[in-house]
Amino acid sequence: MNSIQFPTHEKIIEAVDKLQNEAIEKLKQMVSFDSVLGNERDVQLYVEEVFKSLDLKVDRFEIDLEKIKHLPGFSPVNWSYKGKENVIGIHEPAPTQHASKPESERKSLIFNGHVDVVPTGRDALWTQNPFSPYVKDGRLYGRGSGDMKAGIIAFIIAYKAIKELGFTPAAKVLLQTVVEEECTGNGTLACLERGYRADAAIIPEPFPEIITAQVGLVWCKVNVRGKPAHTLEMSKGINAIDGAMYLVGELRKLEAEWNTVKHEAFSDKFDHPLNFNLGMISGGEWTSSVPCECSFDLRAGFYPGTPLEKVRKTIIDTIDRAAKEKNLPYTIEWNGFQAEGVTHSASGDMMKQLGATYKSALGTDAIYSPVLCTTDSRFFELYYNIPATCLGPESKAIHGIDESVSLESLRDITRVLACFISDWCGLQPLH
Amino acid sequence: MNSIQFPTHEKIIEAVDKLQNEAIEKLKQMVSFDSVLGNERDVQLYVEEVFKSLDLKVDRFEIDLEKIKHLPGFSPVNWSYKGKENVIGIHEPAPTQHASKPESERKSLIFNGHVDVVPTGRDALWTQNPFSPYVKDGRLYGRGSGDMKAGIIAFIIAYKAIKELGFTPAAKVLLQTVVEEECTGNGTLACLERGYRADAAIIPEPFPEIITAQVGLVWCKVNVRGKPAHTLEMSKGINAIDGAMYLVGELRKLEAEWNTVKHEAFSDKFDHPLNFNLGMISGGEWTSSVPCECSFDLRAGFYPGTPLEKVRKTIIDTIDRAAKEKNLPYTIEWNGFQAEGVTHSASGDMMKQLGATYKSALGTDAIYSPVLCTTDSRFFELYYNIPATCLGPESKAIHGIDESVSLESLRDITRVLACFISDWCGLQPLH
């Protein structure tokens, strides 16, 4: 065998760039699936076909609640997992002596992305239908375009670019598309429970910076009982909506209090790192009746290192004190995210390599930065000792109206991920 | 012909009391119909049969929006009136020389009651199913028992008691059961438009006092637009629920301001006559998205004499100012009650007679009192110059949980109404 010319970053980037039109077309396909919670199946079948077209071995499997519900990081749900499937494209390198790295330096890699998207709000608020993707001024618009179907396309195209050059990763690479990143993370947890591990995990969430920390967050639904009455004797009733508003006001005070505390991972960049979001509210059934019930859904951020139990207890205590003041019966349900915060040390091997690859591929220094949300990277790092981070295409209005992703950034991130495969896993000839 | 012995109040009361079991059974029948808005038809068919069994001529007719929408007192709706029917039982006295009063003193009378009921809240909050009426400790429980199916039973049994004595009213009596008292009053307005008039109207709403005044009230739905965003960049979004809460806070200030003004008809009895009720709220669709829309439904009371336009303008101005402060787009819909307040002079003939009859029938003085809600009595008094009031069975938890009506009070009110037929219309022999 002649000596093998392994592709340089330059060659890899060329190969990525040749696939940009395909990337855009595939991204449009992905975005056209309305894959909100409970509706993820069709896009997963599409991804499965794409993985198969790349000659990846595919494992499509339903989440088994019984297998994950006792695991650290699990978030409880009140819906069924029937038909909820993750898809994993598995690259196992053939044994070879002809890789770009000695065997001991070939490291395995997980690319992980979620296919679920958040609801869109009324279609009428969008310039075009949120699931009819379109390109304008270098950006692709549609729900899930940035968060995070472009990220999934980035690792698919990165993998494909290597193949187009006649090579494959010289270590195991797992391309994972999961459900439920937007509410629990149980999709990724199920992949880990199923035994899928690697030396690092990268999630191309829509942050064009390498993520060094993310907040923890809990979701809870607070149900407030009032005392219904005719409005003619309003003072005899207790308005559950007014009651809920009072509780929210007290929770806002707690939010302010939490933000007076600084955390080294966040405080340099953010004035107000811990956001309490009142995401949903619903109460009452008749304009002239004092409403007897009102529920609201809270998302509360907190710093890494704060135990979940302590977070929940503080929230419970705040609600309990306020509710007793106003004589309001209440319940709290803790479904959805019960997610710890996490820091990803910028000095770890993967983090350093990713920064170096970024610089080499794009010619500029990567920025290392914390984010004020949660991502599935926490599972890898906290519970399975797998270094993990996020780095993905620059996006706008994620969870908002007219969400979009930069196609130039999609190309850049794809370049970085493709070069990173080479740098982290090593390459070997395809045949 | 021999001289006729017209029944005394004592005889009439005896006749009423004999029918108490029938009253309770009929009330149970009525309450067992779930006649919430849009579902009134079955109970109306039941009432029609009852009216027919009393040999009343029956006019059951659908509300024709085209005929009433231009009339004073009309409240706009955003639903259909198809199949929405009022039922009127018509008693026209046969010409006679043998009545208890000379013809010039026989006055015609409308009894009016609404069959629609307000929603119940979750069944589980009730001791028993709200539409499975039951009697306990002298009270009949169920949604609509007090508000106001017992009132309808009261005038039905009052009319029947007179007949059982071998007499009928010597003037026209109209027994009206209408829809939509709980949201518009358009049912009663349609009866008036159809030409049904009389010398007085009594509505046995669940107030055991003779009503001298009622507040006006408007309903409006306020739709607040926020700016959705991922909670990680919460400060870039505008939370529509938080925005709605801010508007509500400003409206509460307006409510407080309005209540600093006194009104002679209300201020003696009530510290806080004008209630703003936040009856419904709905917003957001994802716990981790800054919600883009939130709507709330307000019921605002105001004094008689304040023009509706002024009320609405003040509310609009308050919302507009607050919304501009927070940069919140909004809309306001004015569906449902656009109801003026009204006073019913206690010195009018009907009001005085009703008090006198009450005293004679029950042995105690009637109490004259204002109420802090609206009733259909406003249409008769304000737009058709028909003296009107309310007097009905004592009830508890109307619009609340475990609504009930006192069966003793039902009997008492039935006694009063039966005697009032005699006193107001005069009687004449049945055959």
Which of B376, B414, B367 is CA-nearest to residue B393? B414
Record: contact A288-B122, CB cut-off 8 A: no
Q: At what angle do helices A9-18 and A407-420 cross, to 10 degrees?
A: 140
pLDDT reading at A232 higher than 80: no
Residue of A nearest to B371 (CA): A232
What's A9-214+342-429's CATH class? Answer: alpha beta
What does the pLDDT average to over B257-263?
Answer: 96
What are the residues whose beta carbons fall under 8 Å from the beta carbon of A236, sequence distance 6 or more?
A: A227, A229
Q: Is A273 within 8 Å of A317 (Cβ atoms)?
A: no
Nearest CA distance, B57 vs chain A (angstrom): 34
For residues A230 and A176, which has the higher predicted lDDT (pLDDT)? A176
pLDDT reading at B412 higher than 70: yes
pLDDT in tens, B208-227: 999 999 999 999 999 999 88
What confidence score (pLDDT) does residue A233 get?
72
What is the C-alpha to C-alpha distance for residues B269 and B167, in angstroms, rounded to an integer?
Answer: 41
What confidence score (pLDDT) does residue B39 get?
95
pLDDT reading at A235 higher than 90: no
For residues A268 and B168, which has the higher predicted lDDT (pLDDT)? B168
Nearest CA distance, B16 vs chain A (angstrom): 30
pLDDT in tens, A357-395: 999 999 999 999 999 999 999 999 999 999 999 999 999
pLDDT in tens, B145-203: 999 999 999 999 999 999 999 999 999 999 999 999 999 999 999 999 999 999 999 99
Nearest CA distance, B287 vs chain A (angstrom): 4
Residue of A nearest to B120 (CA): A285
Compare CB distances from B231 to A287, A289, A373 and report the shortest one's residue.
A373
Which of A245, A253, A204 is CA-nearest to residue A226? A245
pLDDT reading at B304 higher than 80: yes
Record: contact A280-B280, CB cut-off 8 A: no
If one looks up domain B216-339 in CATH, what number appears? 3.30.70.360
What is the C-alpha to C-alpha distance for residues B401 and A238, in angstroms, rounded to an integer?
Answer: 12
What confidence score (pLDDT) does residue A268 get?
86
Q: Is A166 left (phi over 0), alpha (psi -120 to 50) or beta?
A: left
Record: contact B284-A281, CB cut-off 8 A: yes
What does the mean pLDDT of chain B come to?
A: 96
Nearest CA distance, B122 vs chain A (angstrom): 9
**pLDDT over 70 percentage in chain A:** 99
Tokens 């006193």 — which residue?
A: B423
Q: What ipTM was assigned to the predicted interfaces of this complex?
A: 0.93
pLDDT reading at B18 higher than 70: yes
pLDDT in tens, A94-111: 999 999 999 999 999 999
What confidence score (pLDDT) does residue B2 get?
57
What does the pLDDT average to over B247-256?
Answer: 97
For residues A67 and A238, which has the higher predicted lDDT (pLDDT)? A67
What is the C-alpha to C-alpha distance for residues B13 and B417, in angstroms, rounded to an integer?
Answer: 10
Record: contact B286-A337, CB cut-off 8 A: no
What is the C-alpha to C-alpha distance for residues B239 and A147, in angstroms, rounded to an integer?
Answer: 20
What does the pLDDT average to over B271-282?
Answer: 95
pLDDT reading at A2 higher than 60: no
Confidence at B40, pLDDT banded by 50, 70, 90: very high
B286: which chain A residues are within 8 Å (Cβ-Cβ)? Answer: 118-119, 182, 279-280, 399
Neighbours of B136 (CB within 10 A): 11
Which of B232, B326, B293 is CA-nearest to residue A275? B232
Nearest CA distance, B397 vs chain A (angstrom): 6
What are the residues whose beta carbons fall under 8 Å from the beta carbon of A393, sequence distance 6 or more?
A: A146, A150, A151, A154, A204, A206, A208, A405, A406, A409, A410, A412, A413
B235: which chain A residues are within 8 Å (Cβ-Cβ)? Answer: 272
pLDDT in tens, A273-299: 999 999 999 999 999 999 999 999 999
3-class state of residue A211 by DSSP: strand
What confidence score (pLDDT) does residue A1 get?
47
Record: contact A284-B281, CB cut-off 8 A: yes
Question: What's the farthest any 2 CA atoms get from each other in chain B?
Answer: 93
pLDDT reading at B334 higher than 80: yes
Record: contact B400-A227, CB cut-off 8 A: yes
Enumerate the domain spans of chain B. Answer: 9-214+341-429, 216-339
Record: contact A286-B182, CB cut-off 8 A: yes
Structure tokens at A257: 């209090």
A289: which chain B residues are within 8 Å (Cβ-Cβ)? Answer: 118-119, 277, 279, 399-400
What confidence score (pLDDT) does residue B171 get?
98
| Alpha-carbon distances of B173 from A248, A388, B110, B194, rounded to whole Å | 54, 83, 6, 16
What confidence score (pLDDT) does residue B1 get?
47
Record: contact B231-A301, CB cut-off 8 A: yes
What confidence score (pLDDT) does residue A227 get?
81
pLDDT in tens, B340-393: 999 999 999 999 999 999 999 999 999 999 999 999 999 999 999 999 999 999
pLDDT reading at B93 higher than 90: yes
Structure tokens at B273: 């006559």
Which of B60, B63, B16 is CA-nearest to residue B42? B60
Neighbours of A271 (CB within 10 A): 8
Q: Is B353 within 8 Å of B424 (Cβ atoms)?
A: yes
What is the C-alpha to C-alpha distance for residues B238 and A2, in angstroms, rounded to an integer?
Answer: 63
What is the third-level CATH fold of B9-214+341-429? Aminopeptidase (3.40.630)
